[in-house]
Amino acid sequence: MNSILIVDSGSTKTDWVWLFEGKKKKAWTTSGINPMLQNESAIVATLNEELKWNVEKNPVDLIFYYGAGVSGESQKKTLTKILKSRFGKAKIDVQSDLVAAARGLCQHGTGVVCILGTGSNSGYYDGKKIKEKVTSLGYIVGDEGGGNHMGKFVLRYYAYGTFDQELKLAFEQRYGKDVSLLLKKIYNEPFPNRYLAQFVDLLKDFRGYYMVENIIEDSLVMFFSRNVLKYRQSWTMPIHFTGSIAYEFRDVIKNLCQQYELELGKIEKSPMKGLIEYHLGK
């Protein structure tokens, strides 16, 4: 195949990389896509608005699409249909974001792979397939350690009057004082998980504050206890992490691995570099 398109999509953003004759020709970013939170028409509208691609000038032979919310055949069929209508004769392979993490971080090796971005996910990869995984309950019930999970902590700390004065004022300057308006955005507008994850910016900017460190560590400890420690392979194999939250708070992850006496593997902001190597056979 001379022309390959690799797509890595989360709920917040989607990375697209076009490879032609084994070389990276173009890379760009659009809004996130999640078939669990968007219907077909909403995904099509996003692509029509943000993805500027001339198929006649730049034909694509093969598309590898990896995405959040791809939990079964229904989502795969929907995304395949959308991409077919956009790219014509291209062969399309749709997989979950967890497969992207596994291939990008482990290549053909084995390991436990974890995603900590807007949401969270994990699985054991045997070098070919995801062989075991803890059930992902999504942004309402689960997503421990992810951005929207931490964002819920931030909102609770503010709304319940837990923050000290400096953090309270910082929150109000960024997000306002009207909790009812914040709740309206969460309960009545699209992508509440994406909105909640925005509160993580407060944590990033106030590292070192006791309450901030508490939120970060509590959320990640919950992820470790409900995901990482569930795999027997975690005690014998490296544990890899990818995603914006994993990369931002990699110091906390390193400390937790040391505390649990686990072997830490790679921590990458995105699996894309590894995916390119994987699909080019490097």
For 172-227, the pLDDT digits (tens) are 999 999 999 998 988 887 788 888 999 999 999 999 999 999 999 999 999 999 99
Report the alpha-carbon distance of residue 106 to residue 139 in Å, rounded: 26
- By the 8 A CB rule, do 66 and 10 touch? no
Mean pLDDT over the full length of the chain: 90
Written as one string, the DSSP assignment of 12-74 is: SEEEEEEEETTEEEEEEEEE---TTTS-HHHHHHHHHHH----TTTS--SEEEEEETT--SHH
- By the 8 A CB rule, do 4 and 64 touch? yes
Angle between helices 165-175 and 147-159 (to 10 degrees): 120
Parallel, antiparallel or unpaired: strands 13-20 and 3-9: antiparallel
231 membership: H or E segment, kind and range: none
What is the model's pLDDT at position 1?
A: 57
pLDDT class of 71 with cuts at 50, 70, 90? confident
The b/e string for 126-150 (b: 16+ C-beta within 10 A; e otherwise) is: eeeebeebbebebbeebbbbbbbbb
pTM of the predicted model as reported, rounded to 2 decimal places: 0.88
- By the 8 A CB rule, do 75 and 50 touch? no
Distances (CA, A) of 172 to 154, 178, 179, 186, 210: 12, 9, 10, 17, 19
Range name among 39-53, 55-69, 135-149, 265-279 with the lowest pLDDT average: 135-149
What is the model's pLDDT at position 282?
A: 63
* Terminal Cα distance for the chain, rounded: 15
Beta-carbon neighbour count of residue 50 at 10 Å?
13
For 122-175, the pLDDT digits (tens) are 999 999 999 988 877 766 666 899 999 999 999 999 999 999 999 999 999 999
Percent of the chain with pLDDT over 70: 97
What is the model's pLDDT at position 28?
A: 84
DSSP type of residue 3: E
pLDDT class of 2 with cuts at 50, 70, 90? confident
> What values do phi and psi take at 88, rounded to 5?
65, -115
For 4-13, the pLDDT digits (tens) are 999 999 888 8
- By the 8 A CB rule, do 278 and 107 touch? yes
CATH, range 3-101+272-280 = 3.30.420.40
Question: Dihedral sign, CA of 205, 207, 208, 213?
Answer: positive
For 233-250, the pLDDT digits (tens) are 999 999 999 999 999 999
Beta-carbon neighbour count of residue 34 at 10 Å?
26
Q: Which residue has the tokens 């760009």?
A: 28
Q: Which of the pair, 40 or 57, is modelled with greater confidence?
A: 40
